[in-house]
Structure 1
Amino acid sequence: MGPVTATVAVLDLPNRGPFPYRGAMTRTAEVNGITVSYDDAGSGPAFVLVHGHPFDRSMWWPQLTALTAHGYRVITADLRGYGRSTVVPGLTTLETFARDTFALIDHLRIEEEVVLGGLSMGGQIVMECYRLFSERIAGLLLADTFPQGETPEGHAKRNQAADRLLAEGMGWYATENLSKMMAAYNVTAMPQVAEHVSRMMLNTSPEGAAAALRGRAERQDYQKVLTTVSVPTLIVVGRDDEFTPVADAELMHRLIPESMLSVIDDAGHLPNLEQPAAFNAALREFLDQ
């Protein structure tokens, strides 16, 4: 894993939330007609992390701390429609998210190949990035995601959920999905983590979340793309993930030549938050190979 080193100045910020980190700069960039809010921390090879739905860049706090300490420059951004980035109603495709991601990389004048990681929808955005920009990627992290295209049933369910988000807001979604986003036993065992996950969901714009759901309903199948991956790849999944079970991770592991697979015990769909020490250990092993 050896992209050319890039550096960025850093500032100390107060600790924030249950997963504090230091040495981050919160910034905004104008790309593709929207304002993107992002953090840029550390120095070294660039590692870009893409959050899942319906979250924001704060889901990566434990990894930002670990990766900057490991000698990486870490960039985490709020996707359009999420966090503090511009909300664009309608339908947002994975291609749009992917092009936003590399527009930010261009804005930051990172010319070297980047390591690119994503969780859940973020993982599918990473797959789309590889389809579009493979020559600019040095390595991949695919966490709690799956490559299959949408089914007719899934297409209908995502659009129905989008309609309900616009009509009722995020409250019902957060209530119904918290015990699936995390392993149900961790919701009570890890109240700070559960509060963080719930807060991210409740703070998400219904219009942004609905646009992403409609876009994911139109996604392509990435299984063929994964067979072309020629860079080091780490696949991570929580052992008790209900949304993207271990079988999905094993499928990607078979499709991607020489990929690494790490199954995180005592975790559901968000092992990077539920078991950050184990998740970060898997990252370190991958990056040190």
Structure 2
Amino acid sequence: MELQIKERNGFNYVDEGAGEVLLLLHGLFGALSNWEDVVREFSPDYRVIIPLLPIYDMPLTKAGVPGLMNYVEDFLVAIQQTEPVTLLGNSLGGHVALVYALHNPARVRRLVLTGSSGLFEDSMGGSFPKRGNYAFVQERVGYTFYDPTLATKDLVDEVFDVTNSNAKCLRIISIARSAQRHNLSKDLTRISVPTLLVWGLNDTITPPPVAHEFHRLIAGSELRFLDHCGHAPMMERPREFNAYLRQFLHRTTRQPAPVAA
């Protein structure tokens, strides 16, 4: 499925389907394509929206988790989305989703986090890609997955191109440091919407103990693990991820009030 990018008021995004909104947020080195299987599965029943987060070109003074959260706020105003949304976030996108939910509790219907930062993350294997070293970048992109062959040449090329831009690298470093500073351990008890956590058992960036800590701190949250899966379950185990997501959406759908006789 080839995702069609739309533009409105300076925002670039995917917008497929109709109905209740699922808003998908990608990670630091993520892209719209990370969510292709989710769009394919859910756009017949939901309106699936994916903003392209301005990670590589936002003003350096705003390059951080709060700046990205403000971008999501402005984006939803720009597309005139006033009803509460279900927020799905992977890695940094999960972190931004959490901060958005904490600042806008009435605008969030549900949360789905997968490999989310916000408590602990070992991004890119503990170091940033070395400029000009393709083999190093290939190794670190592979670190995202349980099966490193999923680090396709297109993915590696994209990250390699980013690491060869000083301006983009500065923003990546600023955002990564912001994510580390904005630890949410003291705030997560305020999350009250239904929350699903889907984690790879083989995630080495936000390891399983991180998922357990999210589960402990977010009251009533559901935790599901996928074996033979790394940091991006919606890409590496899309069928199982989508099954857990669909079950969660059905289980937490508000039933209409009965009509009085």
TM-score, length basis structure 2: 0.84
Question: 1:126-183: per-residue Cα shift (whole Å, max 9, x none)?
Answer: 1111222122111101110232279xxx89x98x83xx76xx2684663231221111
Distance 1:174 1:96 in 2: 27
**Are the aligned partners of 2:102 and 2:190 in contact in 1 as well (CA < 8 Å)?**
no
**Are the aligned partners of 1:81 and 1:88 in contact in 2 as well (CA < 8 Å)?**
no
Query: Residues 269 and 88 from structure 1, CA distance in 2 versus in 1: closer, same or farther, beyond 3 angstroms?
Result: same
1:105 maps to what in 2?
76
Structure 1 position 285 matched with structure 2 position 243: no
**Are the aligned partners of 1:90 and 1:210 in contact in 2 as well (CA < 8 Å)?**
no
1:194 maps to what in 2?
152
Tell me how many residue pairs correspond in the alignment. 246
Question: 1:48-80: per-residue Cα shift (whole Å, max 9, x none)?
Answer: 1110111211111111111213x1101112111
Structure 1 position 62 matched with structure 2 position 41: no
1:29 maps to what in 2?
8
Structure 1 position 273 matched with structure 2 position 212: no
SS of equivalent to 2:7? strand
Query: Residues 178 and 120 from structure 1, CA distance in 2 versus in 1: closer, same or farther, beyond 3 angstroms?
Result: same
**Are the aligned partners of 2:86 and 2:108 in contact in 1 as well (CA < 8 Å)?**
yes
Structure 2: stretches of 5+ with no match in the other structure: 252-261
SS of equivalent to 1:208? helix
**Are the aligned partners of 1:138 and 1:231 in contact in 2 as well (CA < 8 Å)?**
yes
SS of equivalent to 1:47? strand
Q: Which amino acid aligns with 1:270?
A: A
Deviation at 1:225, TM superposition (A): 1.9
Structure 1 position 175 matched with structure 2 position 144: no
Query: Residues 169 and 115 from structure 1, CA distance in 2 versus in 1: closer, same or farther, beyond 3 angstroms?
Result: farther
> What is the percent sequence identity of the aligned residues?
26
Question: 1:162-220: per-residue Cα shift (whole Å, max 9, x none)?
Answer: xx76xx2684663231221111xx223x5xx6345334424547433531331331332
Query: Residues 237 and 170 from structure 1, CA distance in 2 versus in 1: closer, same or farther, beyond 3 angstroms?
Result: farther
1:12 maps to what in 2?
none
Query: Residues 47 and 209 from structure 1, CA distance in 2 versus in 1: closer, same or farther, beyond 3 angstroms?
Result: farther
Distance 2:88 2:26 in 1: 9
2:171 maps to what in 1?
211
Distance 1:25 1:273 in 2: 19
Q: Which amino acid aligns with 2:69?
A: A
Deviation at 1:29, TM superposition (A): 2.8
2:52 maps to what in 1?
78
SS of equivalent to 1:278? helix
SS of equivalent to 1:182? coil
Q: Which moved more, 1:134-143 or 1:201-210?
A: 201-210
Question: 1:242-263: per-residue Cα shift (whole Å, max 9, x none)?
Answer: 1011110110011111111111
SS of equivalent to 1:224? coil
TM-score, length basis structure 1: 0.76
Out of 46, 49, 53, the position equivalent to 2:21 is 46
2:208 maps to what in 1?
246
Distance 1:173 1:75 in 2: 33
